[in-house]
Every structure is written in C-alpha cells, then in structure tokens.
Amino acid sequence: MVLSKAFKRFRKEFNQTQKEVAEHANVDVRTYQNYEYGEIVPSATVLIAIADFYNVSIDYLVGRTDNPKINR
C-alpha cells in the first residue's frame, strides 16, 4: 500500500502521466495503473527504472528512508 501511494505521489509531484511513467518503466499503462492501485507489486527491474526516472533511491521510493539519495 505504501508503494502504490508513493508511485501516485511522485507522478503527481513531477507532473507525469501514467503513460509517461509506464513507458519509462517499459510496462503497459494498465500494469502501471495496477501498481498505483496496489493490485500488483512491481518487479525489481521496474522499481529500478522508476527510481531512476525520478532520480531517487529505491529505498526512498518504497518508503524505507526520508533521504532520496541514500544508497544511490
């Protein structure tokens, strides 16, 4: 649940559409929507792509730290 909220929060903060993020993560838009809705959990490859897209660490993306650059 935390991850799905983070995905939506980041997307809105960066003024990105679901389609733009999905394309960068190399997934279908519906798959990305399922990540945001918390219906499926993204793979490590997708997490890396999305963290890279927002230029933050995976730990920050998944709510394990408040520092976006830790372990980056």
Give the closest residue to 2 by CA, choosing from 68, 71, 64: 64
> Per the structure block, which two tokens stand in for 18?
């679901």
Instruction: Give me the long-range contacts of 14-22 (CB less than 8 A, separation at least 24).
Output: 14/54, 21/50, 21/53
2-61 topology per CATH: 434 Repressor (Amino-terminal Domain) (1.10.260)
Question: What is the pLDDT at residue 3?
Answer: 81
pLDDT higher than 60, residue 12:
yes
Among the listed residues 24, 52, 22, 48, the one whose alpha carbon sits nearest the alpha carbon of residue 35? 22
Provide the token pair at 14: 């960066």
Model pLDDT for residues 29-48, shown as the tens digit of each residue? 999 999 999 999 999 999 99
pLDDT band at 4 (very low <50, low <70, confident <90, very high): confident
